[in-house]
Copies of this chain bind each other. A is one copy, B any other.
Amino acid sequence: MNIIKIGGSLTYYIKPLLESLKSYKREEIIIIPGGGKFADTLREIDKNLSLSPSISHKLAIKCMDILGEVFSDIGGIKAYDNLFDLKREIKKERIAILLPSKLLLSTDISEHSWNVTSDSLTLYISKFLNVKNIIIATDVDGIYDKYPEGKLLNIIKADMIKGLTAVDEYFPTLLKSLNKIAYVVNGKYPERIIDILEGRNTICTKIIP
């Protein structure tokens, strides 16, 4: 089982990405949607009107559900709101989208803060699965030593990640505490994700605990 978080920044590049992943079929793939512009709208409202942190957290997760349904419709990939059904059904299609609000709100497993976004939430979700690869697909090639105009890092230890990167603030700490590996990769090049699934070297950043 592989878990691929697809960031909202890939919304307008989603069709070829989903088509490639759907036709891959050699490994089971669970897609976790980001919150995209829906979550950006919420963040802007929060910045201006100060929502309570718990409500921001809850609604940002609901934004992930909405983007998940968008991905489902565009990619022709079934979406599930629970792992029970998803794990049964993924055996057939080899790919499924998780609408994460039910799992995340019913377990209430994470801190209620904007430091925990869909990247970290993907790690929390991975706890409930027997995951081979955790892949964060975004619109940049990986993590850079500085950004912009830095050098792409092929590999980095979680606790060396600092400042503004392609993953959220809490992600490195959580990855380390889970003792997991994750890949940050540019989803505009679906072949790179396939490379990772196949165990080949590719353009991406591997984060080790």
Chain A residues at the B interface, C-beta cutoff of 8 Å: 11-12, 14-15, 36-38, 41-42, 44-45, 48-49, 51-52, 55, 58-59, 62-63, 65-66, 69-70, 72-74
Quick one: which of B45, B62, B69, B74 contacts A11, CB cutoff 8 A? B45
Which residues of chain B come closer than 8 Å to A15, judged between CB atoms?
A: 49
Q: How far is the CA of A63 from the CA of B48 in the complex (A)?
A: 19
Which B residues are in CB contact (< 8 Å) with A59?
66, 69-70
Number of copies: 2
Q: Chain A: interface secondary structure?
A: helix
For A70, give its contact among B45, B65, B72 (CB under 8 Å): B45
Q: Is the CB of B69 within 8 A of A66?
A: no
Complexed CA–CA distance, A63 and B52 (Å): 19
Chain B min CB distance to A13 (Å): 10
Q: Contact: A49 with B74, CB < 8 Å? A: yes
B38 in contact with A51 (CB, 8 Å) = no
A-B contact pairs, 16 of them (CB 8 A): A11-B45, A12-B48, A14-B49, A15-B49, A36-B41, A37-B41, A38-B41, A41-B41, A42-B70, A51-B73, A55-B72, A55-B73, A58-B69, A59-B69, A59-B70, A62-B65
User: In the complex, how many angstroms separate the beta carbon of A67 from the nearest chain B beta carbon?
Assistant: 9
Query: A70 — nearest CB in chain B belongs to which residue?
Result: B45
